[in-house]
Structure 1
Amino acid sequence: MENKLAEGKTLLHRLDPRVKIIVFLMFAVSCALSSSISFLFFSSLFILLMGFVVRHDLTKALKSLIFADSFLIFLIITMLFTYDKGSSIKLGIVHFYPEGLKYGAFLFFKSNVILLFMLFLLATSTVFEIAHALHHLKVPAKLVQILFFTFRYIHVIRDEYRRLLKAAVARGFKPGTNIHTYKTYGYIVANLIIRSYLKADRIYKAMLCRGFKGEFPVYHHFHLEKKDIMFAAFSVLFLITAFAGSIIWKF
């Protein structure tokens, strides 16, 4: 699985991943806990600045965002029917809640702001760089390894699933809404789990043969540079400004 956004050479790509992780957590937690749309608006100004920096790779980020939004749109639809607060509009036996639409749109906007922060700050580094940075930030080694191996081998599982499905189709399998289809997919998933376990066991034994002792040796370590410190200071200043702006200008 490729992270095409990490292939650029902009300022954001060259920043220390440790700084980007810390800045992302600051803004993501602040946005997640905030109930002020004005704070989200001011935070989105910082996103616009980062978008200007990676403008040549912006289409890659937006494609990823559209994929996530295809799931988030169901959140708005769900809130429209289930957010039982305020007045309701009755259409036959169905009740619509305008407040639910408003709240769902707010959650949609909040989710997109956090996703854009993740794309511009985390996706502009490779998974190995993120894992290395998390190790430096004292995240438990097992959690870091789970993250790394999940990303490293999820495409292997995807390819194995495609091979199994292709083999089933070659034997005359035609998906439908019937018991045979459900049983066939059940067999494919079960086969996939067994093959994944066997492959993981072989990989682990191969790693032990190569001297693996619970952590990966790293020959190049990160070093804070002037641009990293300046970016961190600017981010903190912008976050404080966003808080102040949301208090002064409420909308």
Structure 2
Amino acid sequence: MFANPLSGQHAGWTLHAVHICARLIGVAVLSAVIAVSAQPEALASAALAGGVVLLLGWPGRSAVLRGLGAVNAFVVLLWLVVPFSGSGAVLHRLGPVAVHADGVALALKATLRANAIACLLLGLIVATPLHVLVKGMESLRIPEKLCAMLYFCVRYVQDIREMHNRLQTAAALRCFVPACNRHTWHTVGNMFAMTVVRSLDQAHRVHQAMQLRGYDGSFRRLPLPGMARWDWLALAVLLAVAAGLVALECNLLELIRD
């Protein structure tokens, strides 16, 4: 069993038991370092570190499949375009199209970078309850309006999806069959417009209900407990990994050795 992330007391060391502020700082620093890294050694090490973090903070099979599936669907599109758009040495020819070495290298770097950051987010953030995540962001002095936007988007995106599903069900009950014709585009446009209109109506109702309950633009929350020594240790490890990636990126190890 994982410890309560709000309790500050950890029965055992797991990534989910680490203080949310430590995890947010660690994932932000590591993601920034990985995003600007270009050396293959640094990116490969980042992907390895991301895999270890994902295993230690395993959020569940379905969450991993959805997260990595969405990321790698975009990566596949890159591999279908980028290797053929380089200007360096030609590795292979597929008829009139040439596969360039610099294009393959660029696509490989993008693959490692995207999967490393995705694994960090899946292992450190995804399994965190929404209210804990928002409280951690507020504790780090992230603007309160951004925190509120995140909270309401995550909270009500499922409601918007349900509205759209109801419209799709209503259309199916009326024997609507999508096709590439004017009637289909007209129906799809109406469904999209009705989803937007109903979402705006619900947003107004939610805002009015919150105002009746005294909402003035800020949430009244209890402060998070302080970080324990294990939280500081976990943060130090994450920052040490980031420092190691910087060293690999800047070839500091070779400079020290020389």
Per-residue deviation, residues 103-128 of structure 1 (Å, max 9, x unmatched): 11220111110111111111131222
Residue 167 of structure 1: aligned partner: 170
Q: CA RMSD in A?
A: 2.3
Shift of the 48–90 alpha-carbon distance from structure 1 to 2, 3 Å rule, reads closer
Residue 41 of structure 1: aligned partner: 44
Listed as ranges, the matches of 1:117-156 within 5 Å are 117-156=120-159
Alpha-carbon distance in structure 2 between the residues aligned to 1:52 and 1:139 = 29
**Of residues 213, 216, 219 in structure 1, which corresponds to 2:219?**
216
Matched to 1:102, the amino acid is: A
Alpha-carbon distance in structure 1 between the residues aligned to 2:180 and 2:108 = 34
Shift of the 223–119 alpha-carbon distance from structure 1 to 2, 3 Å rule, reads same
- Secondary structure of residue in 1 paired with 2:215: coil
Alpha-carbon distance in structure 2 between the residues aligned to 1:162 and 1:191 = 12
Displacement of 1:66 in angstroms is 2.0
Alpha-carbon distance in structure 1 between the residues aligned to 2:48 and 2:67 = 20
Shift of the 56–33 alpha-carbon distance from structure 1 to 2, 3 Å rule, reads closer
- Given that 1:79 and 1:100 are in contact with CA atoms closer than 8 Å, whether structure 2 keeps it comes out as yes
Gaps of 5+ in 2: 6-11
Alpha-carbon distance in structure 1 between the residues aligned to 2:97 and 2:218 = 56
- Given that 2:42 and 2:245 are in contact with CA atoms closer than 8 Å, whether structure 1 keeps it comes out as yes
- Given that 1:10 and 1:53 are in contact with CA atoms closer than 8 Å, whether structure 2 keeps it comes out as no
Percent of counterpart pairs with the same letter? 24
Displacement of 1:70 in angstroms is 1.6
Alpha-carbon distance in structure 2 between the residues aligned to 1:220 and 1:138 = 13
Tell me if 1:104 matches 2:112: no
Alpha-carbon distance in structure 1 between the residues aligned to 2:27 and 2:140 = 14
Shift of the 198–141 alpha-carbon distance from structure 1 to 2, 3 Å rule, reads same
Matched to 1:35, the amino acid is: A
Between stretches 110-119 and 84-93, larger displacement belongs to 84-93
Listed as ranges, the matches of 1:177-196 within 5 Å are 177-196=180-199
Residue-pair matches, total: 241
- Given that 2:88 and 2:100 are in contact with CA atoms closer than 8 Å, whether structure 1 keeps it comes out as yes
- Given that 2:33 and 2:246 are in contact with CA atoms closer than 8 Å, whether structure 1 keeps it comes out as no
Gaps of 5+ in 1: 1-5
Residue 29 of structure 1: aligned partner: 32
Residue 86 of structure 2: aligned partner: 84
- Secondary structure of residue in 2 paired with 1:228: helix
- Given that 1:80 and 1:101 are in contact with CA atoms closer than 8 Å, whether structure 2 keeps it comes out as yes
Shift of the 181–153 alpha-carbon distance from structure 1 to 2, 3 Å rule, reads same
**Of residues 241, 245, 250 in structure 1, which corresponds to 2:244?**
241
Displacement of 1:48 in angstroms is 3.7
Alpha-carbon distance in structure 2 between the residues aligned to 1:99 and 1:210 = 59
Between stretches 203-212 and 43-52, larger displacement belongs to 43-52
- Given that 1:51 and 1:58 are in contact with CA atoms closer than 8 Å, whether structure 2 keeps it comes out as no
Matched to 1:223, the amino acid is: G
- Given that 2:82 and 2:107 are in contact with CA atoms closer than 8 Å, whether structure 1 keeps it comes out as yes
- Secondary structure of residue in 2 paired with 1:175: coil
TM-score relative to the length of structure 1:
0.87
Listed as ranges, the matches of 1:201-212 within 5 Å are 201-212=204-215
- Given that 1:10 and 1:54 are in contact with CA atoms closer than 8 Å, whether structure 2 keeps it comes out as no
Alpha-carbon distance in structure 2 between the residues aligned to 1:37 and 1:95 = 23
Alpha-carbon distance in structure 2 between the residues aligned to 1:174 and 1:151 = 31
